[in-house]
Amino acid sequence: MALIVRQEGPDDAAAIAAAVRRAYADVPYSDHREHLMIARLRSSAAWIPALSLLAEEDGRVVGHILLTRAAIRGARGSTPTLALAPLSVVPEWQGRGVGGRLVRAAHQRARDLGYGSVVLVGIPDYYRRFGYRPMADHAIAVPFTVPARNCMVLALTPDGLSGVEGMVQYAPEWMDG
């Protein structure tokens, strides 16, 4: 059976949590609580059901991506954005394009919903291929300590970051942990 990417359904939470735990089990920089963040976000105002996508092969969840509401607050006001976290692919499916399919599908759905940008803290060499650039190039920062090179942003539309600068404001459920 072919790999499919689809929106999370009401009965997928446990399978997504299991896949996310497996994906991060051997990742040294992980706190191994990514699945708990997803659970918190599901019941928050930041949750957008259409932007919780899973990759499935033969009925098994092999990957997941989540984009949730956030904002960039600066001197000129607040601009809606999306926060990408986490992107998860189970170990035996890594390196097979699953993450890329999830990222591209999430970006397209976000565009379709009218969002102009996505922020993330991630691995620069991976996310650059999707057009992500350093937040610092846009005078955007995150409210916690992390290497600047890992803080990235993507304009989903030509004017998605026009005049946008400031501090990313994540949902409280994104930050708790």
- For residue 41 the two structure tokens come to 């976000």
pLDDT digits (tens, 9 = 90+) for 67-100: 999 999 999 899 999 999 999 999 999 999 999 9
4-174 CATH pick, 3.40.50.300, 2.40.10.10, 3.40.630.30, 1.10.357.10: 3.40.630.30
Neighbours of 19 (CB within 10 A): 24
pLDDT digits (tens, 9 = 90+) for 101-130: 999 999 999 999 999 999 999 999 999 999
Neighbours of 164 (CB within 10 A): 21
What is the C-alpha to C-alpha distance for residues 140 and 155, in angstroms, rounded to an integer?
A: 13
Alpha carbon 121 to its chain centroid, in Å, reads 9
Of 61, 58, 60, 54, the C-alpha closest to 1 is: 58
Angle subtended at Cα 161 by Cα 158 and Cα 165, rounded to the nearest 5 degrees: 165
Judge whether 48 and 67 are in contact, CB under 8 Å.
Answer: yes
The domain limits of the chain are 4-174
pTM reported for the whole predicted model: 0.95
Average pLDDT over residues 40-64: 97
Judge whether 68 and 51 are in contact, CB under 8 Å.
Answer: yes
